Structure 1
Amino acid sequence: MNSIKIFFILLMTGTSISAQVAINTDNSAPDPSSMLDVKSVSRGFLVPRMTQAQRNAITNPATGLTIFQTDIISGLYFNAGTPAVPSWKLVGSNTGQWINNGSNIYYNLGFVGIGTTTPEATLSVANTSLSGIATAGSFQIGPSGTYNLVSDNNEVQARNNGAASTLYLQYWGGDINACASGGAALFNGPVVMYNNLTAYGRIGIKISPNYDLDINSTSYTASNVYSPYNGGTASQVIAGGTTTGTWAFYAYATTLGYAAYFSGNVYCTGSYLPSDEKLKANIQPMEKSLEKVMQLDVMTYDFKASEFPEMNLPHDKQNGFTAQNLENVFPELVKLNPAKKEQPVDFKAVNYTGLIPVLTKAIQEQQALIEKMQLKIDELEQTIRIK
């Protein structure tokens, strides 16, 4: 205790000495490197405590002057500047150090590396199953020499040893939701597909795109584009073309299926079919059309709309033929439509447009018979007049 008494007496009298001072309870000598050596296992060293305003009011604070600030960002502060130009620093928040603020921790300068001693981006994460390459100011996952993921202010890219790589979203399934401003764009549902986007704004699904939207399906049982039923009056697909020689909607298919399938009524203001003679071969006159037409059974009927709701069949009275009857006479005008996901029943369809030439020829044959009979009637009438 004598050492403590001597220390406080010297402080109170302002006496200046050039010796080391030890404050302790075991009478141990001070450390040779120190001017003041305070030792305790039950008490701490208490520095002056004040607010930020009180700290800033200190006149000509000495370089290294230390206080504990009690408000704003509390902590131990020291003057890293000069008495004339103070620069108060929070201990633990200098350049190269992290700053603690309540439950937050942040860093102002340099790069942060997790799993690497040479970070190449603001945050670099290495030694993971995914890895990346980055430029300064971007975000990277993984080292530069293998697979990696990198992003900057407006893009995300997958890389492999400095070259482009494939980026998958939900590769093993699951939903993907993406909303544009105001929620105008939404993508939702299990996704297993690969896309190609070009610098020309083209999108390709399972194909390198040659058109604005290019879709290629390798399975004959799969639908390329599926738009589910929806209420209201909005159109599900809108296509427009204003330049001569362009198509608003263009579809083609092989003989294995239809170019288009519509479940419901179709309305159009006009239609054309290719009929140029230079496109045709084996041109032969049609014969016995009237005889064949007489074999057709013209019916009135109702569709089983409630039994097949997914086909959106008409509910009003219909006039026409059965496909089976028409197939017996004109098999080329009937086609089997196999069952599909959105239409789980196979059925036969009729090409009513193809009947127009048949009926035209039947009328011509009937007219020829009428004219022939009329000629005989005229001859009989002439004979009667002579007698």
Structure 2
Amino acid sequence: MNKILVLIAICLMLSMENASAQIAVNSDSPDASAALDIQAVNNNRGLLIPQMTTAQKLAIANPAPGLLVYDTDYNCISQYKDTPSNPGVFGWTCQTLFNRHFLYMPTINIPTSDGTGSLLTGTRSIDLYNVYKTGFENPSVKSAGAPASIPYFNRDQLYYYVTYCDPCITVTGISDSGNLSYTVNALPNYDAFVNIVFLVR
């Protein structure tokens, strides 16, 4: 009997050498690229990581690079970015801090004249999202080795704001899809400036 148990144990150890070191939850086939693959049975659950205050987070002794916690003071997923080779350089950083999820609109021309020196009349419109997407898809210059295009958000992932408008223009509204409407009050002295900010929803 003991010989049979030893034989079974040897077979198990030999088979474990070829087993992948992967763990799957609610699945028999973890993704090949994942060490841990968690699937919700009815796709109605999420992953809840440890939640703590900033002080508790900072009190973690020797946090591993890439360690994640939810910071309840900043309401963000916080990642430890230091490595043993550069301690104290980056420290903890919020990955989902709301005020980091905005970007300024690329520079655009706001037409105010019909080309003959006369004011444009009526309500004009500019598709802000289309200008943004076109600029990010086809940047005019890039550094060596950089990707051909810049990653960009989808139209419905953004909120659109005007933080400043030259007095020669009146912004009458911005649609939820990023279409800016404006009227021209006067010709600008040089250029008409409008500061536009996109905020990730």
Give me the TM-score of the superposition, normalised by structure 2: 0.40
Please say which structure displays the higher CA radius of gyration.
Answer: 1
**Larger strand fraction of residues:** 2
Which structure is richer in relative contact order (CA contacts within 8 A, separation 6 or more)? 2
**TM-score normalised by structure 1 residue count:** 0.23
